[in-house]
Amino acid sequence: MPETTVLDCRLVLCEPAFFASREIDRLYLTEALVGNYALTYALGLATSPYATSYHRPQYAAEMKRLVEQGVYVTPAYPVSRPRFKVERFNVQTETYWSTYTNGAILYDLAERGKTKPKPYSNNRPQQGMLKMMARGMELRFFAFGLAKADLPGYIRLGKFLSKSRLDVVERRAVLQPHEKYEVTGYFNPLDLPAETRIEVCNVINIHPVPVLQSVTCRGPVWKLDDQSLLPAGMKFRFGEQ
Amino acid sequence: MSFTTKEPFASTLLAKYENLPRGHYIGLVLLRTTQSETIFRTEGSGEPLSREVTISGTKTGQPIDRIVISKRKQTAVERRTGRELLRDFEVYAGDNKECLLNTQNPCGKCPDCYLYGYAVGSGGAQRSRVMTEDAFSLLDAAEVTSERTFNALFDNSTMRNPKTGEPSTSLGSSEYVRPGTHFLDIETLKDVTAAEFIYAMGNILQSSRYGAIGTRIGVVKNQILGIAVGKQEIFSTLELTQATYDLLESKQHPLVTETVAETAVRAAASLIGKVFGWRGHWISGNDLTPILADVAESYQNPAKLVADLQACYEKS
């Protein structure tokens, strides 16, 4: 039976972490998970430039090297009941005087005191509520093709670069042939191999790829020494086989 | 207003109010000395004074409790002092008479609204250009506080209601700060004009009652120990309090105000050299005298001061 080493990683949030999983009017909600692309960048396995002219993610190009090296990271899932923190925010300009109007902030002194100030066409959030994963929440994910030393002790997550501690345990995994099994944790459906059939699952709809939860699969599977079960043959595919 | 036309003020004070920050800072290092019993608390009657555990000094140090004059309660007093002057010179006349503090209806066009700021009126929001900090007592709270019992007597000078014979319930005790207690403080003015600078200084120097029960107690004397003129904010009040504590010979209440002032100026002079990238001017001691005299002189002709203030906001 083929064997491999899988890294069993625990993330402990040192600060509340925010991802824009869903935006509903003035609510900005974080799902209790970290997508595996976000994790890959946060772990420093892939990098993107500070500024680009093309305004769209370049996952395939930036993760190409990882695919070649057989490196793969699963989405992080909460190990206990998720906890959240809700916070209000507002945005301010740099000027001493400013005022809110529909969909914009006015800061031009010429508008001061006018009953109908000039409308601006920009449409940015001025105030709202952020729902974030709470400090102290623990998440777990698995990493293939890496040694313990390849991962940092702390990483920064999400839009506000929230600090999180990373605790890593190495686990032996043995390949089991075709079998029907319930997967441990969450999965990115794009990254499963064609021979793995999904029988039952819940879908958490987030961008850029939905994440599957409570998945029952049929196909080859890695059985870890703590009895966790992970589909075999996962890699970053971006929809290609 | 002669000093405002000389360096370093000439290049730091703005000619007119500008809406965008330029980072011209003036730090006023203050010594606030209580002249009567004073009460600084946030939790309401009968509750203890506001206090905070801090390390006593910068070099020597064990944690001590310090009494705190919270930053909000300083400008609240000083704004009212200034607004009395503005009201006296008809700034709040005509359609402007509705501009009152805490009425959710700031006018947005008086010097007080412009300098000390306001939030969420119908005319937007104005950020304050007077930045304050919590002021800390120099000495341990145990040294500078005590407790008084109070009661309220009926007309017949007893605790029994003369008609019903019911006992009075108004009996309690309040913690207070002893007279002669020293608080070091810094107020920072940002991007102000010459008139605003004089107005803010005048408000500090003319405010006399802080904290609770201000009609009976709460007398505080404010003294300007030094002025830091530059392009950044200087050290914090806590650093100044701790550095002064280090240099003090006696750490027992009461302290001589003159000694505290001299020690604090020495501490400030050594701290300002450690402010990262500092290339401003530090004015203290005898150099301060002509400036304070000029401020006092401006108040001899308050009508002109108010007119100068209002001219800062005229649209050109």
Quote the pLDDT of residue B146: 93
Quote the pLDDT of residue A190: 93
**Any idea how long chain B is?**
316
pTM reported for the whole predicted model: 0.76
3-state SS record for B2-49 = CHHHCCCHHHHCECCCCCCCCCCEEEEEEEEEECCCECCCCCCCCCCC
Q: Using a CB–CB cutoff of 8 Å, tell me whether B48 touches chain A.
A: no
Per the CB < 8 Å rule, is B108 touching A113? Answer: yes
Quote the pLDDT of residue B121: 61
Give the helix ranges, DSSP H, for A117-205: none
Q: Using a CB–CB cutoff of 8 Å, tell me whether B10 touches chain A.
A: no
SS3 content of chain A, % helix, strand, coil (to 5): 10, 45, 45
Q: What is the mean pLDDT of residues A110-114?
A: 76
Q: Which of B20, B124, B191 sits opposite A99 (nearest CB)?
A: B124
Per the CB < 8 Å rule, is B123 touching A112? Answer: yes
More confident residue, A123 or B213: B213
Q: What is the mean pLDDT of residues A71-83?
A: 96
Per the CB < 8 Å rule, is A95 touching B20? Answer: yes
Residue A143's identity, in one-letter code, is A
Quote the pLDDT of residue B168: 83
Interface size A-B, in CB pairs within 8 Å, comes to: 35
Say which residues have a Cβ less than 8 Å from residue A218's Cβ, sequence separation at least 6. A178, A179, A180, A181, A196, A197, A199
Per the CB < 8 Å rule, is A96 touching B123? Answer: no
Q: Using a CB–CB cutoff of 8 Å, tell me whether B112 touches chain A.
A: no
Mean pLDDT of chain A: 90
Q: What is the CA radius of gyration of chain A?
A: 22
More confident residue, A200 or A113: A200
Q: Using a CB–CB cutoff of 8 Å, tell me whether A127 touches chain B.
A: no
Quote the pLDDT of residue A42: 96
Strand ranges (DSSP E) for A97-149? 97-101, 104-106, 127-133, 138-144
B109 contacts in A (CB within 8 Å)?
113
Q: Using a CB–CB cutoff of 8 Å, tell me whether B231 touches chain A.
A: no
Q: What is the mean pLDDT of residues A172-188?
A: 91
Please provide the DSSP assignment of B203-225 as one string: HHHH--B-SSSTTTS-BEEEEEE
Quote the pLDDT of residue B32: 97
pLDDT beyond 60 at A121: no
A106 contacts in B (CB within 8 Å)?
124
Q: Which residues of chain B have pLDDT under 70?
A: 1, 120-122, 316
Task: Identify the CA nearest to B221 among candidates B37, B34, B77, B70.
Answer: B34
Q: Using a CB–CB cutoff of 8 Å, tell me whether B108 touches chain A.
A: yes
Q: Which of B22, B126, B129 to mutate to test the interface with A (most CBs of A within 10 A)?
A: B126
Q: What is the CA radius of gyration of chain B?
A: 21
Q: Using a CB–CB cutoff of 8 Å, tell me whether B95 touches chain A.
A: no
| Alpha carbon B239 to chain centroid, angstroms | 17
Say which residues have a Cβ less than 8 Å from residue A133's Cβ, sequence separation at least 6. A13, A16, A17, A18, A30, A32, A82, A83, A84, A85, A139
Query: Which residues numbered 169-208 in B keep a CB inside 8 Å of some CB on A?
Result: 191
Asked if residue B201 lies in contact with residue B224, where contact means CB atoms within 8 angstroms, the answer is: yes
Asked if residue B118 lies in contact with residue B106, where contact means CB atoms within 8 angstroms, the answer is: yes
Residue B254 has which token pair? Answer: 């009461």
Tell me the CB-side half-sphere exposure of residue A108, using CA atoms within 13 A.
Answer: 9
Q: What is the mean pLDDT of residues A81-100?
A: 86
Q: What is the mean pLDDT of residues A112-124?
A: 67
Residue B17's identity, in one-letter code, is Y
Q: Which of A94, A96, A106 sits opposite B129 (nearest CB)?
A: A96
Residue A193's CB is within 10 A of a number of other CB atoms, namely: 14
Q: Using a CB–CB cutoff of 8 Å, tell me whether B316 touches chain A.
A: no
